[in-house]
């Protein structure tokens, strides 16, 4: 048709009618032949293009099956998957408002004034038919006189605090469940891998940006972050966290870190707040959080076995110091070293000293802080007797202590 149009434009009507008659028949004949050629050739060309496109699609499919990705297809697939996941999960992520009462400075009469002390996020993880249960961060609800939940549709509902735990930075809230018809699906943090996609949902900077979604990857697993609760310059706890580069900002605390199956794998908790640092956020692994959530829901607090030492993973010490400072023999592959001991603690009574290196609990190898905590918090109870194998000045020794209660 383009050629036909082109030829019509190329041959304008001849003003000399007496001379144009002798060209009329050839001209009409040419037009007819052109139409016939186009009508025959065009379907063949279209069929050829269709086959070519189908072959191209087949090649794209085959290359995908062979492990080679096509960026255009991959981009569409991932984007569609993320939007589907967010649509599914977003209603289970809520806002949490910390309301505190204080004496009013503007009123002469006695009384208190309720003010919004802070905001954060939470995740609806359970519904028992009457109540809905929400997990959030302890620092989000700390000091609250009242707690208010802001649902996905901006409905505001009062909630009560069932329990909170400073060390794990977890809290469990309960609210009327009549407005809730969905809970998040729990996943596992045991199988996550560095580099896999992750999605964070929460309320950064308060309810103004409620339900914000950020995407990133898992940047690290089994990270340990020192926490100083009393600000005395000494670590009181080593938090086990997942590292992600999905943006986590103030207000995201207590929100959900989810995998590409739409499952909860972490509770967003903190980030490194330095000008020179970007994209380093932390989330509490759901496998660590679940037993604590259950205990807070049931008892309102967490009871932990207690040794009474400040300890750090041996892999944080340069290898040269293993031999020169700690006098460790070459067969020692890992452990935790004692930095300080609480007076009259189980460790003190068992004779442990500063710079002792613990390598086994009840003959189970302890390579780092995570190993030690897993044994204590998942396999032991308060009051259990535990055999500790340790090295002091290069000499292997053993002692037994009775686990106390973490206060």
Residues known to be catalytic: 139, 169, 253
**Residue for token pair 């003959």:** 363
Q: Who contacts 162 (Cβ-Cβ below 8 Å, separation ≥6)? A: 133, 172, 173, 174, 296, 297, 300
Residue 382: CA atoms inside 13 Å, Cβ hemisphere, count?
10
CB 359 within 8 A of CB 372: no
DSSP 131: E
Tokens for 25?
């028949």
CB 141 within 8 A of CB 96: yes
Dist CA 243 CA 240 (whole Å)? 10
DSSP 350: T
Residue 4: CA atoms inside 13 Å, Cβ hemisphere, count?
12
Task: Report DSSP letters for 55-112, one per residue.
Answer: HHHHHHHHHHHTTPPPHHHHHHHHHHHHHHHHHHHGGGEEEEEEEEEEE-SS-SSS-E
φ and ψ at residue 189, rounded to 5 degrees: -100, 0
**Quick one: which of 211, 215, 246 has its CA closest to 94?**
211
**CA triple 350-352-356, angle to 5 deg:** 155
Dist CA 134 CA 205 (whole Å)? 20
State the angle between helix axes of 17-65 and 2-10 in degrees (0 to 180), rounded to the nearest 10. 150
Q: Who contacts 402 (Cβ-Cβ below 8 Å, separation ≥6)? A: 346, 383, 384, 385, 386
Dist CA 336 CA 398 (whole Å)? 15
């Amino acid at each position: 048709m383009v050629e036909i149009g082109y030829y019509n434009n190329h041959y304008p009507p001849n003003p000399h009618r007496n001379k144009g008659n002798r060209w009329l028949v050839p001209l009409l004949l040419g037009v007819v032949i052109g139409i016939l050629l186009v009508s025959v050739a065009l379907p063949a060309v279209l069929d050829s293009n269709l086959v070519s496109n189908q072959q191209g699609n087949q090649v794209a499919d085959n290359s995908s099956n062979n492990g080679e990705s096509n960026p255009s297809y991959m981009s569409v697939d991932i984007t569609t998957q993320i939007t589907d996941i967010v649509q599914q999960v977003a209603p289970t992520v809520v806002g949490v408002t910390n309301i505190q009462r204080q004496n009013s400075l503007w009123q002469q009469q006695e009384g208190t004034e309720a003010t919004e002390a802070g905001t954060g996020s939470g995740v609806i993880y359970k519904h028992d038919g009457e109540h809905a249960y929400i997990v959030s961060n302890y620092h989000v609800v700390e000091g609250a006189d009242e707690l208010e939940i802001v649902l996905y549709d901006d409905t505001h509902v009062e909630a009560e605090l069932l329990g909170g735990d400073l060390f794990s930075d977890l809290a469990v809230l309960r609210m009327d469940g009549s407005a809730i018809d969905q809970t998040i699906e729990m996943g596992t943090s045991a199988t996550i891998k560095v580099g896999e996609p992750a999605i964070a949902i929460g309320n950064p900077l308060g309810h103004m940006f409620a339900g914000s979604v950020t995407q990133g990857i898992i940047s690290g697993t089994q990270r340990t972050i020192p926490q100083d609760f009393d600000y005395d310059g000494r670590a009181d706890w080593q938090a086990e966290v997942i590292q992600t580069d999905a943006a986590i900002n103030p207000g995201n605390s207590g929100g959900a870190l989810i995998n590409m199956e739409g499952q909860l794998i972490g509770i967003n908790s903190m980030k490194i707040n330095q000008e020179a640092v970007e994209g380093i956020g932390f989330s509490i692994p759901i496998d660590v959080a679940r037993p604590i959530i259950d205990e807070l829901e049931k008892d309102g607090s967490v009871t932990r076995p207690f040794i009474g030492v400040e300890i750090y993973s041996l892999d944080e010490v340069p290898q040269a110091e293993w031999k020169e400072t700690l006098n460790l023999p070459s067969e020692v592959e890992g452990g935790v070293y004692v930095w300080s001991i609480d007076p009259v603690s189980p460790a003190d009574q068992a004779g442990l000293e500063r710079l002792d290196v613990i390598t086994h609990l009840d003959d189970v190898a302890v390579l780092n802080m995570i190993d030690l905590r897993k044994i204590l918090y998942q396999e032991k109870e308060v009051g259990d007797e535990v055999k500790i194998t340790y090295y002091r000045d290069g000499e292997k020794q053993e002692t037994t202590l009775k686990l106390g209660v973490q206060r």
